[in-house]
Amino acid sequence: MAQSIRTMISPGRYAQGKGAIHQLGRHLAPLGSTPLLVADDVVWGFVGHDVEASLAEAGLPVDRRAFGGVPSSKEVDRLVGEITSSGADVVVAIGGGSTIDAVKAAGHLAGVRWANAPTVASTDAPCSALSVIYTEDGEFEAYRFFPRNPDLVLVDSQLVANAPAEFLIAGVGDALATWLEARATSRSNSPTMAGGLPTLAGTALAQLSWDVLWENALPAIDAVRDSQVTPAVEKVIEANTLLSGLGFESGGLAAAHAIHNGLTSVAATHGLAHGQKVNLGSVAQLVLEGANPADLREFIEFTTIVGLPTTLTEVGIRPDDADSVRAVATAAAVEGETIHSMPFEVTADDVAAALTSIDRHATRIRENANLPAPAPYTAKH
């Protein structure tokens, strides 16, 4: 009986716009009197001044701690210690998806409220009631689920536009996957990350995210290259953060994210952003679905123009490196992975075949469309 319950969850408040960071104090005040801010030194360098002014205006003290770089169990436990020893009653992540994932997990364990002020629109992390925990080397370890979503998600669009465009591009990759995965979850009537079957609302938001991105991603990326906030930029920030955030959580994940998680088992991929790897997962999911060739071609063309990887080569894996492909496929198809929300059975062999087939086909599509050939990715570290 419980299997038939449909569920939708969301953050308590979502605020987005140019200069929104100036309202951080005002929105935090109802949540607590002693906030603890977590931001790395780079982020704090460009946003600390405005955050301090905003909190002072709301009569809140400023206590900032650094973030260690990877949302690992160890970093989460360290942050729990910081929260507990500081006596904070609300913890605020300021930065990207890694900071946010670590702070959500730490806030939950410390028993305080939590809020997110993403400074980039690169992942689905800000709105959800779950964190992705990685090993200290950057390998996917586990999803952690929490009983509540963040109390507040506040996005300053100017900060997002000031960040390198690569962050927004990665966010587009993460958000395009949302509809492909929600559509698959809806077809199979599988449970979502929200702990129930998908609602019409969750599925519809995932589809809206897709539509908004096909129309606005390219003009938005161009605007952000000049640090400009245009209506297209606002729409893409909302698609990447709110629509995709609610859409993946309450609409469901399927093959694309499972393949992303599989890719993290190969060290060569570790320097890439989450959304870059997710995009290859989306291409692989379309192949697994036996997608209409025109749909597959359009997706590869569009995401290549956006600036996302569409081949194994571009995420650091040679397509003839059978061991690496096998490692990715095995991890992606492990029991309990969201790939089993696809409306048909998927085995590691299926994933390996799909992945191995991509490079040759994507290269041909790109050649025919006069798009650049895939350039091999080499990890920076």
Q: Let me know the angle formed at the C-alpha of 312 by 367 and 336, rounded to the nearest 5 degrees.
A: 135
Nearer residue to Zn ion within complex by CB, 241 or 324: 241
Choice among 151, 270, 274, 359 that is catalytic: 274
Choice among 151, 174, 350, 359 that is catalytic: 174
Residue ranges for the known binding site for NAD(+) are 40, 97-101, 119-122, 128, 130, 134
Number of residues that bind Zn ion (CB under 5 A): 2
Q: Confirm whether 274 is a catalytic residue.
A: yes
Nearer residue to Zn ion within complex by CB, 151 or 174: 174
Exposure string over 325-362, b if 16+ CB within 10 A, otherwise e: bbbbbbbbbeeebbbbbbeeebebebbbebbbebbebb
Q: Confirm whether 22 is a catalytic residue.
A: no
Which residues in 67-126 contact Zn ion (CB under 5 A)? 124
Residue ranges for the known binding site for glycerol are 124, 174, 257, 274
Q: Does 234 participate in binding Zn ion (rule CB under 5 A)?
A: no
Q: Confirm whether 174 is a catalytic residue.
A: yes
Choice among 27, 108, 257, 270 that is catalytic: 257
Which residues in 162-201 contact Zn ion (CB under 5 A)? 174
Binding string, residues 121-160; x marks residues near Zn ion by CB under 5 A: ---x------------------------------------
**Which residues pair with residue 381 across a beta bridge?**
none
Nearer residue to Zn ion within complex by CB, 37 or 351: 351
Nearer residue to Zn ion within complex by CB, 303 or 356: 303
Q: Which residues are catalytic?
A: 174, 257, 260, 274
| Residues found near Zn ion in the complex (CB under 5 A) | 124, 174
